[in-house]
Amino acid sequence: MSPTLKRGVSVAIIAAACLLGVAGCRAAATMGAKPALDAYSQTDTTVTQVTNRRQADGSEAHLLSAFFGLDDALPRMSDRVACKGASGGDGMPVIFSDQVDIKTVEPGDFRITTASGAVGKVTCLTLGPANDPGEWRTVLLAGHYGGLDDEPATVEIVGNVLSLDGTVNFKGARVAVTPLPEGPRLIWAEIVPQAQWELGRPADQSPFGGGSHCPVGTLQVVRVTWAGGVTKPAGAADADDVERVLYQVTTVRPDGAEAKVAPFALGDLKDGDNNHLLCLDTTDRATAVSFPAGYLTDPREDLNPETSVAVTTRQPPGTP
């Protein structure tokens, strides 16, 4: 099937929702014509005339990170809630500098090369669970592409992967892989456009997407993206007020003075992805976000290092 026609409810999404009971199954099955989040083609099937590598702000399209998060350790349920063939494989979230058109993203678009020069295999991929509006820049790759004895070293885009608005092609982009023992870092932060806020909306029933939103009374929302999925240490607990006050957002007042504030609430919880919404009660422009070491872990229980990232206000055309 042509990638431009690759539509339908993802089998992975329905299976994930069914884990929550009959109501979840029905909700997923009636979501309508949403794009499939999982993909399997070992070749690039996207036909396009787009060769532009420049984003709307003039910067070159690139990969922000590739995080070697799991070595032969994706859980058995991954076949149902991520993509078929993922179970027992390696897991690597790859983050793009812009949101991507999910119809153009396929395993055959990625080449993972190890330190020895061997080329790994990407069995399948998914854009879940980071698939809320504004989040379509993280792609989880499952397969077998190295281990501690020969770690993956680089990821390169060798096929046509287009930006969400169809104006940018990521072909040729490459990035060094974050080694397995390292913990997750902040990779991206952006001002969320007000059209996406939906203040007061709780998390929905599906573990893929549908995270909680900021509460009513929020004046500004900053989305932060980690290199990989993060939870509290020792398992599945989401961040809460302990982590909320540790986030420090640098803001600039109209007179140019800087201040550091903590968000008064966190959003995008309960959906298992690598994003948090920082809910602010100030309209002073947010310019940077920092977080101290040792409070959040990846699925391997590697603790985060001290980390910080600049906040961008760029919202390219096509942002949903």
Mind listing the pLDDT tens digit for each residue in 70-128? 999 999 888 888 899 999 999 999 999 999 999 999 999 999 999 999 999 999 999 98
Let me know: does 169 contact 157? Beta carbons within 8 Å. Answer: no
What's the pLDDT score for residue 174?
98
Q: Which residue has the tokens 């900053």?
A: 222
Mind listing the pLDDT tens digit for each residue in 250-300? 999 999 999 999 999 999 988 888 999 999 999 999 999 999 999 999 989
One-letter amino acid of 118: A
Burial of 50 (0-12, 13-18, 19+ CB in 10 A): middle
For the record, the structure tokens of 308 come out as 């910080």
User: Could you tell me which of 311, 287, 293 has the C-alpha nearest to residue 187?
Assistant: 311
What is the distance between the alpha carbons of residues 193 and 215, in angstroms, rounded to a whole number?
A: 15
Share of the chain above pLDDT 90, in %: 72
Q: Which residue has the higher pLDDT, 57 or 138?
A: 138
Q: Kindly give the pairing relationship between strand 220-226 and strand 186-191.
A: antiparallel
What's the pLDDT score for residue 27?
34
What is the distance between the alpha carbons of residues 224 and 277, in angstroms, rounded to a whole number?
A: 6
Q: Angle at which helices 22-29 and 11-18 pack, to 10 degrees?
A: 160
Buried b (16+ CB within 10 A) or exposed e, 274-306: bbbbbbbeeebebbbbbbeeeebbbbbebebee
Q: What is the mean pLDDT of residues 53-58?
A: 91
**Residue ranges per structural domain of the chain:** 37-178, 186-310
The CATH architecture one would assign to domain 37-178 is: Sandwich (2.60)
What's the pLDDT score for residue 82?
87
Q: How confident is the model at residue 200 (pLDDT cuts 50, 70, 90)?
A: confident
User: Could you tell me which of 151, 154, 152 has the C-alpha nearest to residue 173?
Assistant: 154
